[in-house]
Amino acid sequence: MSRVVVLGAGVAGHTAAAFARRWLGKQDTVTVVSPKPDYNWIPSNIWVGVGLMAPQKVTVPLAPIYERAGIEFVQAAARSIHPEGDLESQTPYVLAQAADGTVKKVPYDFLINATGPSLRFDKTEGLGPDGGHSMSVCTPDHAAMASAALDEEVERMRRGEHRKFIVGVGHGTCTCEGAAFEYIVNLEFELRRRGVRDRADITWVTNEYELGDFGMGGMHIRHKGYVIPSSTFNASLFAERGIDWITRAHVHRVEPDRIHYETLDGTVAEREFDFAMLLPPFTGVGLKAYARDGADITERLFMPNEFMRVDADYNQKPFSEWTAADWPRTYQSPAYQNIFAAGIAFAPPHAISTPRTSPNGTLIAPAPPRTGQPSATIGKAVVHSIVDMIGGAPEPSHTASMADMGAACVASAGANPFTGTAASMIVYPIVPDYQRYPEYGRDMDLTFGEIGLAGHWIKILLHHMFLYKARLLPGWQRIPE
């Protein structure tokens, strides 16, 4: 009998657990450890944030799903990994703490760290909805708060007031610019739909060097016989919707009515707002690791940013010397062969977008995205390797390098069955490979983008498909990652 333990029940963790249970024998056990009772389809949180969906429309309870599937569910937050066991036993285990303070020891033979990110609102003074002065759509509850605040702003505009909106990222090292992008265009669409767009100023604030970077160094797409950079694509979309933008920015502080920010050239400025939705930077969740004798070995498993070390090249070298081959393939820990990471929990070896520092020493550069399709694909590949290793394979048998992986993204740009739009994009590979594709770093036959009503219908379809898949209903495994 083998015990597979998955930490986290997001896109990567839930996918890993589901396939592990499907592929392993009845004598093997699968356990999910997660502090949250629900699975959240995060891409649809932006619709909650503009009042088009209720939080319960983007979440599903995990306990009944796992009970039906034969997966043990431990609702608790993983605190520490003990890969060598302790003085009482050499069995590896995880310590997890429930909301009531109860600590449980969860033994494993193979461990998948899919804990995702910690939302570090504390990295920027005044950032965030809990004690800060800005909104978020990172969780369903945060998105519901943003929706309620938006309703208040709309009512004020209906009474004749002019209001200022700021949307984007709240720190110079943020990732997930794509989620903020979806929110700002949906916000603009909703203000038009509610008849108050003429009383709103909308500004995009981002750490991207150019619009459309998205932490991937931007992209080039073929469109009607032309090759167009994503910066042009994004700028055109903003311009036609009357959205202003501030690029190359790091938000230092958020006050009740304004942000204070610095741009890459060293300029320090401020911008007033009445409503701000700013995403936080991410780190790992702060897992600790201990040797059998109790010695702290956290640095052996994790990088300083608290994401897990895997089979990537983490050697220090100039950004210009990094290559696509430096990115991980199997996501196995170099310290312990029975520990893997999946999704956001793994530490990227380097940025994809060129890191840049202001004259004041402030790093202003997007961190690499690893959400959605890449997270699920990695989770599935990791489990496939573990299943094979349980069957006797000496090493991981499946790979899922982001430098050899394509990704499809459908970004909502306004939700309406007749007038809505979405930007549908496919990029291959996610991590540019200038050795294979010297001109643009990507295969231009497999990288393209369109915007239109069809994309909106695809986005709606994906929402229902992936929530169906999350419930592990009949045929779920046939729905691609």
SS3 of 440-462: the string is CCCCCCCCEEEEEHHHHHHHHHH
DSSP label at residue 344: G
pLDDT for 451 equals 85
**Residue 400 DSSP SS3:** coil
In a domain, 52, yes or no: yes
pLDDT for 4 equals 98
314: how many CB neighbours lie within 10 A of its CB? 14
Please work out, in degrees rounded to the nearest 5, the angle formed at the alpha carbon of residue 205 by the alpha carbons of 255 and 49: 80
pLDDT for 149 equals 98
In a domain, 325, yes or no: yes
In a domain, 161, yes or no: no
Contact present, 43 and 61 (Cβ < 8 Å): no
pLDDT for 51 equals 96
Residue 333: CATH number of its domain: 3.50.50.100
Backbone angles phi, psi at 46, to 5 degrees: -65, -30
pLDDT for 256 equals 98
Closest CA to 17 of 7, 83, 76: 7
User: What is the C-alpha separation between 230 and 236, in angstroms, rounded?
Assistant: 10
Mean per-residue pLDDT for 140-151?
98
In a domain, 148, yes or no: no
Closest CA to 226 of 449, 58, 451: 449
User: What is the C-alpha separation between 125 and 253, in angstroms, rounded?
Assistant: 5
Contact present, 325 and 437 (Cβ < 8 Å): no
Q: Are strands 110-113 and 339-341 parallel, antiparallel or unpaired?
A: parallel
In a domain, 469, yes or no: no
What residue numbers bound the domain in which 85 lies?
3-119+282-356+373-398
pLDDT, tens digit, 9 for 90 and up, residues 103-115: 999 999 999 999 9
User: What is the C-alpha separation between 10 and 74, in angstroms, rounded?
Assistant: 14
Please work out, in degrees rounded to the nearest 5, the angle formed at the alpha carbon of residue 115 by the alpha carbons of 113 and 116: 120
User: What is the C-alpha separation between 59 and 395, in angstroms, rounded?
Assistant: 36
Closest CA to 366 of 216, 219, 233, 266: 216
The rounded radius of gyration (Å) of the Cα atoms in the chain is 22
pLDDT for 59 equals 97
477: how many CB neighbours lie within 10 A of its CB? 13
The helix-helix angle for 11-23 and 62-69 (nearest 10°) equals 20
| Cα distance from N-terminal residue to C-terminal residue, the chain | 28
Q: Is the model more confident about 447 or about 30?
A: 30
Residue with token string 């498909």: 465
Closest CA to 58 of 7, 10, 99, 120: 10
DSSP letters of 251-302? EEEEETTEEEEEETTS-EEEEE-SEEEEEPPEE----EEB-TTS-B-HHHHB
In a domain, 308, yes or no: yes
Q: How confident is the model at residue 221 (pLDDT cuts 50, 70, 90)?
A: confident
Contact present, 117 and 123 (Cβ < 8 Å): no
User: What is the C-alpha separation between 423 and 85, in angstroms, rounded?
Assistant: 49
Q: In this model, does residue 418 exceed pLDDT 90?
A: no
In a domain, 314, yes or no: yes
User: What is the C-alpha separation between 151 and 148, in angstroms, rounded?
Assistant: 5
Closest CA to 431 of 212, 216, 119: 216
Contact present, 299 and 306 (Cβ < 8 Å): no
Contact present, 4 and 29 (Cβ < 8 Å): yes
Backbone angles phi, psi at 448, to 5 degrees: -160, 170
From 245-249, 285-289, 451-455, the region with the lowest mean pLDDT: 451-455
Count of domains forming the chain: 1
pLDDT, tens digit, 9 for 90 and up, residues 462-479: 999 999 999 999 999 999
Q: How confident is the model at residue 416 (pLDDT cuts 50, 70, 90)?
A: confident
In a domain, 343, yes or no: yes
Task: Determine the distance from the C-alpha atom of residue 106 to the mean position of all C-alpha atoms in its chain, rounded to a whole number.
Answer: 27
Contact present, 400 and 364 (Cβ < 8 Å): no
